[in-house]
Amino acid sequence: MQVLALLRHAQRATAKSLSVFAGDVARGLLEVGHNTLALVGLAAVAVLVFALGRADVRGKLEVVALEWLETRQEAREQASGIVEEKVVEPEASTRATAADLKELTRQQATLAVWIARRYQVAPEPIGALVQEAWSIGQRASLDPTLILAIMAVESSFNPFAQSAVGAQGLMQVMTRVHDDKYTAYGGTHAAFDPISNLRVGVAVLKECISRAGSLQEGLRHYVGAALIEGDGGYVNRVMAEQAHMRNVADGKHVPPNAGTPAATPPAAARDAVAPAAATPDTPTAAANPTAERLALLH
């Protein structure tokens, strides 16, 4: 019995000794690890302080960090499929047809805002068109509100409008008939440049008025109704819209929704009368007056 008791005592003593030994080893390792991490951290801080203290090393670190960040960003963009071409075009604004309304006269600015509201377009490009209408109207001895009214009826101020028979742009000039007038503007693609189209349209209108002998008859020639009895109400729509614009320019109150909008329907979808300024002298007007009549009836 004494032998068994001694054996049990020895086992308990051995287990206790091993437990104490294992605990001491673990605490030692933890202490060593803690001290090692502290030394590594202190070394990193020392290296960082040293590096930041030298401009050349700091510059290299910044370059490496920036390259790493850019690489990561490109990788994320490629992974998400949103890689876009980086384009810088500071001169792009010079291609826009737009004007600061503060640069217009009060009369012009008031009319530009009214037109913008009536036709639901931006006031800045309308401001540029109003300015040009005033300028070219003075040179051509035409009321600028007449020019603007024609644009309203013809295209609702859509510079990309095109009729079923090929009348194009703001003034809906038949580009293929009056291609020679676009030579000074670099070619027929200028039909979709608002200012170029406006100028060519005014030139065509002047020819029509001169040939017809009066404004109303000139408008009939402009819309291609020279060879038929009616004009589908075109002249009346232009004159009514001009009256609204003139009243606005004169400072009178005209609601933006006054009357029926002049362009009925929009020029891009309407069966326009054969060319603007089509006359007996132009091939299209003489070629098929029946088609013109049908087009006028919409």
Q: What is the pLDDT of residue 264?
A: 41
Q: What is the pLDDT of residue 228?
A: 80
Tell whether 90 is covered by a domain. no
- Residue spans of the chain under pLDDT 70: 1-7, 9-10, 13, 15, 17-18, 20-22, 25-26, 28-55, 57-58, 77-85, 260-298
Q: What is the pLDDT of residue 54?
A: 64
166 and 211 belong to one structural domain? yes
Q: Which amino acid is at 104?
A: L
25 and 171 belong to one structural domain? no
Q: What is the pLDDT of residue 31?
A: 66
Q: What is the pLDDT of residue 272?
A: 39
The residue segments making up the domain with residue 197 are: 98-297
Cis previous bond, 265, omega within 30: yes
Q: What is the pLDDT of residue 295?
A: 41
Tell whether 188 is covered by a domain. yes
Q: What is the pLDDT of residue 65?
A: 73
Tell whether 87 is covered by a domain. no
Tell whether 36 is covered by a domain. yes
42 and 131 belong to one structural domain? no
What total of structural domains would you count in the chain? Answer: 2
Q: What is the pLDDT of residue 43?
A: 61
128 and 228 belong to one structural domain? yes
